[in-house]
Amino acid sequence: MIDPLERWAQYGEKPDYAGLLTFAGSPYTQDPAELEGCDVAIVGAPFDDLVSDRPGTRFAPRAIRAAGAPPGPHLEAKVDAFAELRVVDFGDAPVIPADPKRSHAAIEATVSQVLAAGAMPVILGGDHSITRADVRACAAVHGPLGVVHFDTHTDTGEEVFGVKSSHGTFMRELLDEGHVDGRRYVQIGLRGYWPGEAEFAWQAERGITSLFMHEVRDMGITEITRRAIEAVGPGPAFLTVDVDVLDPAFVPGTGTPEPGGMTPGELLLAVRRIATELELVGVDVVEVIPTVVGSADISALVADRIVREALTGMVLRRRAALRDGLASATPRGDPV
């Protein structure tokens, strides 16, 4: 009899289509006590009750997990985040269908459990309204946050179709509630036909930095990322990525696609640099609508890679901090 677990251990990996479905094959737990000592906990938020167009993002956490590949070294950064960080999959928040208020409360409570254990939450959405729950949990621990927000849309509407709480209004809610510092909030990749002058006037009053898609094209992603990092500055920050920031040629599975967006190469580089330079206390990736199975689902696949780039950046930041600490502790003139 062949023990497949023993065989996988022998080769140091398992096929991405086999075994328990967790993010990158990470260990699985739903016991908060087992989060102690972890660096990162993956949380699924299978919720899409507050969309304004196509539903289906409730299926994304499962699809993103299925689209992943076994862990290994990042060929460009020379980092294996899963070898240097203790990452666990904390399962899905216990959402309640057709009950947005209780579902958001469940997501916030689950993220809070991760934070209480000293780990960083990485949340797989879900529609973009889940970010309100994610940021509220992080701000309860760290105070008002800086935010880097990749998106086609600002999500600062006062209402959408007459509804006050939706995936297009949550950022206004977070700012009004004091969970986000507008002067440390940056939007990247804006384009299309919504919102309008009223929303941008409201943003300007709060010092929000808006970087449009034409600026990404004209200045390049390296300069855009530098400006975003400079605007957020030191202090705790949250990274939220709506995959519709990408051109729909790269993400056919999303609810509100808008032509003329970023390439995955631009986005992945930006995410890694932001995670390297900023003090991230939480990350989410949202608005994936699965269309096919496993790694053939290119929308889910890019979401998986967004998370991996963020983890890679975390490792690079940790390494830099360790080097700086060693350098500062070394007497002048002595070799490190």
Q: What per-residue confidence (pLDDT) applies to 51?
A: 86
Q: Is 158 helix (H, G, I), strand (E, B) or coil?
A: coil
Maximum CA extent, the chain: 69
Q: What is the pTM of this model?
A: 0.92
Q: Phi/psi of residue 325, each to 5°?
A: -65, -40
Whether 13 maps to a domain, the answer reads no
pLDDT band at 330 (very low <50, low <70, confident <90, very high): low
Q: Would you say residue 10 lies in a domain? A: no
The predicted structure's pLDDT at residue 71: 78
> What pLDDT shows up at residue 54?
87
Residue 94 domain-assigned? yes
CA–CA distance, 207 with 183 (Å, rounded to integer): 5
Rounded to an integer, the average pLDDT of 305-322 is 96
- 336 within domain boundaries: no
| Residue range 205-234: mean pLDDT, rounded | 97
Please check whether residue 164 lies inside any domain of the structure: yes
Higher pLDDT, 297 or 12: 297
**69 found inside a domain:** yes
The pLDDT of 18-27, averaged and rounded, is: 86
Q: How confident is the model at residue 72 (pLDDT cuts 50, 70, 90)?
A: confident
Average pLDDT on 139-146 reads: 98
- What's the angle, vertex CA 87, arms to CA 179 and CA 92, rounded to 5? 65
Distance CA 26, CA 136 (A): 26
CB atoms within 10 A of CB 316: 21
Given a contact cutoff of 8 angstroms between Cβ atoms, the answer to whether 122 and 41 are in contact is yes
DSSP, res 13: -
- Is residue 4 scored above 70 in pLDDT? no
CB atoms within 10 A of CB 105: 17
Q: Mean pLDDT across the stretch 186-206?
A: 91
pLDDT at 70: 73
Predicted local distance difference test score (pLDDT) of residue 333: 46
User: Band of the pLDDT at 335, cuts 50, 70, 90?
Assistant: very low
How far is residue 95 from each of residues 166, 270, 298, measured CA to CA in Å?
16, 31, 26
CATH number of the domain that 280 lies in?
Answer: 3.40.800.10
Each residue's pLDDT tens digit, 286-313: 999 998 877 889 999 999 999 999 999 9
- 54, 61 contact by CB (below 8 A): no
pLDDT in the model for residue 336: 35
Residue 332 has pLDDT above 60, yes or no: no
Mean of pLDDT values over 144-168 = 84
Among the residues of the chain, which ranges form H helices? 4-11, 60-67, 81-84, 100-116, 130-142, 170-176, 197-205, 213-219, 221-232, 264-277, 298-329
- Look at residue 334 and tell me whether its pLDDT is greater than 60: no
Flag whether 228 is in a domain: yes
Q: Which letter does DSSP use for residue 225 in this model?
A: H
Q: Give the orientation angle of helix 264-277 with respect to helix 298-329, to 10 degrees.
A: 30
Q: What angle do CA 272, 306, 244 make, to 5 degrees?
A: 120
Whether the pLDDT of residue 327 is over 70: the answer is: no
38 has a pLDDT exceeding 70: yes
Q: Which domain holds residue 129?
A: 23-326
Q: How many domains does the chain have?
A: 1
Is a pLDDT exceeding 90 seen at residue 69?
no
Spatial distance between the Cα atoms of 28 and 78, rounded to a whole number of angstroms:
26
The pair of structure tokens assigned to 241 is 């990525």
Instruction: From 240, 257, 200, select the one nearest 51 (Cα to Cα).
Output: 257
If one compares 333 and 270, the residue with the highest pLDDT of the two is 270
Span 254-266, mean pLDDT? 96
* Mean pLDDT over each residue of the chain, to the nearest integer: 91
What gap in Å lies between CA 69 and CA 83, rounded to an integer?
15
* Residue 331 included in any domain: no
- Please give the Cα distance from 158 to 155 (Å, whole number): 9
